[in-house]
Amino acid sequence: MVVSGKTKIAGIFGYPIEHTLSPLMHNAAFKALNLDICYVPFKVLPEALPDAVRAIRSLHMLGVNITVPHKERVLPLLDNVHEEASFIGAVNTVTNANGMLTGYNTDGRGFLSSLTEEGISIEGKNIFIIGAGGASRAVSYYLSEKASALALFDTDRPKAQKLVNDLSQIRSNVCLVKDMENMLPPDIVINATPLGLKPEDPLPFNPDLITSDMVICDLVYKKTGLLKEAECRRAKIIDGSGMLLWQGVLAFELWTGMKAPVDIMRNMLLSKIRGAAE
């Protein structure tokens, strides 16, 4: 693209940031729609986050994505925080409307869109989520709305209990799991922990509990050990690439007010993920 004095800037704040795939899919989307916008990754150290947020205003940026370790810390630095992001306690997208910064969390809706794309309905399903961190909070906020039951487990019991307590204020179908081996068999299992990022990571869920009529999801955007085990047992598997795509699609639409070129973004994203796996 040709950068000029009219070019608008979007980007992503994180630390570390070198691994991000967001510039690939967003810049491909801007190019496809002939938008004079450039998406840039910014390495923002934790102590520099307040200055970076002020720069969104002073540099008249279109908006930014927020990734680790800033998703929770950015909330008090914004002018407005959308209801879902406030409940989740984390922001992954910031819009700038004439200097007014508003925080959103598109992760949960992005995950739901990835399930819909795969033909998976959560209506009336028993869902089990492993992990109670930010990713779990984002997806459970939406899943609990239509699921028959939502069970949560985390080795950090107080963190899991807090999420259950928070969800119980708006839902009546949420419970804490203390023993995965003896729980009600779920229809959908979601790994919302980082386990699976490294080849040597232990499995977050006993594969002997997996049956062929289950859907096994992993928010890590590659075929993890859990997904490989589930595939061997003929379960339906879904990795985190769809969530990564759709949270980006939603961010794009918040910034531009335009319908995102989903196929362009998907192809760019998947080509990079598959290339890294080879």
Q: pLDDT digits over 215-274, tens only?
A: 999 998 888 999 999 999 999 999 999 999 999 999 999 999 999 999 999 999 989 887
Q: What percent of the chain shows pLDDT beyond 90?
A: 82
Q: Answer left, alpha or beta for residue 99, where phi above 0 means left and psi between -120 and 50 means alpha.
A: left
| Mean pLDDT over the full length of the chain | 93
Average the pLDDT over 19-24 and give the result. Answer: 93
Mean pLDDT of 127-132: 95
**pLDDT value at position 276?**
58
Confirm whether 162 is a catalytic residue.
Answer: no
Domains of the chain in start order, with CATH, are 8-105+242-277 (3.40.50.10860), 109-239 (3.40.50.720)
pLDDT for res 94: 98
Quick one: pLDDT at residue 167? Answer: 93
Q: Given 6, 43, 71, 236, which residue is catalytic?
A: 71
Is this structure's pTM higher than 0.75?
yes
